[in-house]
Each structure stands twice: as C-alpha cells, then as structure tokens.
Structure 1
Amino acid sequence: MYIKSETYQNEMEILYSDANLATFSGTVLASNVDEGDEHGKKYVVAGSLIDKDGKIVTQTGASGSETLTTIPVGIVYRTVDVTNGDQPCSLIVEGYLRADRVLDGFADKAIAAIKTALPNITFR
C-alpha cells in the first residue's frame, strides 16, 4: 500500500466584513517575488499591499524611521500564483479589513502611511 502525505495551507481570511467591499482588477509582477516555496512555486499572498505598477509594497528603514517602498493602491484579495510570470489579481480598494492580518509586522509610521494612501479601507 502506498500512502502519500500532502500538507496544505489555507488562505488567511483578511476581510472583517464583506460589506462595502470594492475590488478592481490589477496585475501582480512576478519579478517582485524573491523566493519560491519548497516546490518552487511563487505566491503573492492575500493581504499584500500592491502599488500602481504591480509591485509588492514593503517596509524599509531602521526602527523609528520606517517607510514604505512605494505608495500602495490596493490590497490583494486572494493569493496569486506568479510562478510562471505576471498574473492578474483582484485588488481591494474599499471595505473593512482585519488589521491584525493585513497590517501585522508594519511599524506605526508605516501603518499611518498605509491608512493615508488607502482612505476607503477601514482596518478593524
């Protein structure tokens, strides 16, 4: 008998509520994703900040002087596989999102910049 074990990872729910949810289509750039998983797959996970060019927005700078790499225009709604190149995605531009999942790891200054750049998104 042959038994194969697979480990699956569920997508994290980033919505606080689907009320007033507004999404637009966008493109996520594969060149901005550094490393793949153990199977060589590259993913842009739900909740990632994306700029107008399709690049992932990250935090840079030393403690106390944190900034964002670029200005975000939306947040990825569902995880996107970019293993084979740039892919279309759904970007959240308005709605209620979970702050503990989307803003986790960002410093206070970076969070303030995110909230300013995305005024129609309410974090709870």
Structure 2
Amino acid sequence: MNFSRMTYDNDMEILYSAANLVTFSGTVLAANVTEGDEHGKKYVLSGSLIDKDGNVVKQTGATGSETLSTVPVGILYKTVDVTNGDAPGSFIVEGYLRADRVLDGFADKVITAIKAALPNIKFR
C-alpha cells in the first residue's frame, strides 16, 4: 500500500454576518499574482482587495508612508485559482466583514483609505 499525506486549506471566514451581503461577479486577473504554493498553483485568497480592473490591491511604501497600489472596489468573497490565467470571482461591495481577518497586516493609514474607498462595507 502506498500512502501520501496531503494538507488542505480552507477559506478563512471573512463574514461577520451574512445579513445585507451584496456581491458582484467580476474577473480576477492573474498577471500580478506571483506567489504560488509548493505545487505551482497560484491563488488569490478570500479577503483580498480587488480594484476595478480585477487586480489585487496591495499595500506599498515604507513604514510611515504606506499607501495602496490602486483604489479597491470590492473584497474577494472566496479564494480563486489563477494558475491557468484570469478567473471569475465574487466581489463583496456591501456587508459586514471581520476586521481582524480582512484588515490584518495593513497600516492604520491604509485602513483609513480602505474604509473610505469601501463605505458600504462595515468592519467589526
């Protein structure tokens, strides 16, 4: 018998409440996604900020002068596999999300910019 061990990851639950959840479909672009797993798969994780063109929005700049790479229009609802190119995704534009999971790792100045860009998303 041959056995192999595989580790599976689940999507992190980013919703604080499903009440008032509004999502729109869109395309997640694979062009700027560089991180891959040990099997060569590239994923855009649930809770990622997405701009109007489908690019992942990242924090840029040195400590004290952090900014966003572009303006986000939504937050990715479920993880998307972009290994083979652009893929469809669901973008949250209104609802209640967990701040400890979506905004984790962002500087205070950037969090203020995210909240201003996404006024219909409430972080708890």
- TM-score calculated relative to the size of structure 1: 0.98
Alignment correspondent of 1:58:
58
Matches within 5 A, 1:16-95: 16-95=16-95
Report deviation, 1:27: 0.7
Structure 2 Cα separation of the partners of residues 34 and 2 of structure 1: 33
Structure 2 Cα separation of the partners of residues 32 and 26 of structure 1: 16
Structure 2 Cα separation of the partners of residues 73 and 11 of structure 1: 21
Q: Does 2:13 align with 1:13?
A: yes
Cα deviation code 1:14-72 (max 9, x no counterpart): 00000000000111000110121100000000000000011100001111111000000
Give me the identity figure in percent: 77
Aligned length: 124
SS in 2 for 1:32: coil
Alignment correspondent of 1:108:
108
Which deviates the most, 109-118 or 60-69? Answer: 60-69
Structure 2 Cα separation of the partners of residues 35 and 13 of structure 1: 21
1:18 corresponds to which letter in structure 2?
A
* Structure 1 unmatched ranges of 5 or more: none
Runs of 4+ in 1 over 2 A off after TM superposition: none
2:85 corresponds to which letter in structure 1?
G
- CA RMSD, Structure 1 to Structure 2 (Å): 0.6
Report deviation, 1:3: 1.2
SS in 2 for 1:40: coil
1:19 corresponds to which letter in structure 2?
A
